[in-house]
Amino acid sequence: MYADNAQLQPDSWLVTAGRTSEPGSPLNVPLVPASNFIIGGKREYSRDDGTPTWEALEQLVGGLESGRSLAFASGMAAIAAVFDQLHAGASVVLPDDCYQGVAGLVTAGADRGRWSVQRLALNDTAGWIDACRCSDLVWLESPSNPLLGVADLEAICAAPRKPGAIVAVDNTFATPLNQRPLDFGATVSLQSATKFIGGHSDLLAGVATTKDEAFWHALRKSRELTGATPGTLESFLAVRGARTMALRLERAQRSAMVLAERLAVHPAVELARYPGLPSHPTHATARRVLKGFGTIISFDVHGGAARADAVCRRTGLIHHATSLGAVESTIERRAAIPGQEHLPPSLLRLSVGIEDVEDLWRDLDNALNAATT
Q: Which residues are catalytic?
A: 47, 99, 170, 195
Q: How far is CA 269 from CA 147, 170, 180, 302, 330, in A?
A: 15, 29, 33, 6, 18
Contacts for 285-290: CB closer than 8 Å, 24+ residues apart: 285/123, 285/150, 285/151, 285/152, 286/143, 286/150, 288/152, 288/154, 289/142, 289/150, 289/151, 289/152, 289/153, 289/154, 289/179, 289/184, 290/143, 290/150, 290/174, 290/178, 290/179
Listed in sequence order, the residues at least 6 apart from 128 whose beta carbon sits closer than 8 Å to its beta carbon are 93, 120, 138, 140, 151, 152, 156, 159
Listed in sequence order, the residues at least 6 apart from 75 whose beta carbon sits closer than 8 Å to its beta carbon are 101, 172, 190, 191, 192, 193, 194, 195, 204, 205, 206
